[in-house]
């Protein structure tokens, strides 16, 4: 059974810092990995989707990498802004179905 772990659980940084969020998974036979953002009281917003054949995806200040062999993905946020404050979730599909398994998320606060 796939297990997804996200470290750290919470992070508070000053504006302008570059930061890295980590996601690890136990079953490396994945189809894809997706990073989401969740604002308080809101649904999930898809940030980046990495297929199993890819090593990274980039969108603006966000870069997500995937290392299947080690069971890890990182989300890199460059030049963080207060508007980046949210919970970031990692979700993995694997094991013969497209049912995603989510991590608990990293709660990020970027203070001015």
- List contacts with other proteins (CB under 8 A): 31-32, 34, 41-46, 49, 51, 89, 91, 93, 97-105
CB nearer other proteins, residue 42 or residue 111:
42
CB nearer other proteins, residue 48 or residue 77:
48
CB nearer other proteins, residue 41 or residue 83:
41
Whole-number minimum distance, CB 68 to other proteins, in Å? Answer: 15
Whole-number minimum distance, CB 107 to other proteins, in Å? Answer: 12
Which letter does DSSP use for residue 73 in this model?
A: E
Can you tell me the distance from the alpha carbon of 70 to that of 86, in angstroms, rounded to the nearest whole number?
Answer: 27
Whole-number minimum distance, CB 112 to other proteins, in Å? Answer: 26
Can you tell me the distance from the alpha carbon of 101 to that of 90, in angstroms, rounded to the nearest whole number?
Answer: 8
| Tokens describing residue 45 | 């917003």
CB nearer other proteins, residue 12 or residue 46:
46
> Beta strands of the chain (E only): which ranges?
4-7, 10-14, 19-25, 30-38, 44-51, 56-59, 62-67, 72-77, 86-94, 100-102, 106-111
């Amino acid at each position: 059974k796939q297990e997804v772990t996200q470290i750290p659980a919470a992070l508070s940084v000053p504006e302008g810092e570059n930061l890295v969020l980590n996601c690890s998974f136990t079953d490396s036979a994945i189809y894809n990995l997706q990073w989401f953002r969740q604002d308080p009281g809101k649904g999930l917003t898809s940030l980046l989707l990495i297929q199993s054949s890819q090593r990274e995806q980039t969108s603006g200040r966000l870069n997500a990498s995937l290392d299947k062999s080690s069971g890890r993905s990182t989300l890199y946020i460059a030049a963080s802004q207060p508007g980046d404050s949210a919970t970031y979730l990692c979700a993995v599909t694997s094991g013969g179905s497209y049912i995603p398994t989510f991590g608990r998320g990293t709660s990020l606060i970027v203070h001015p």
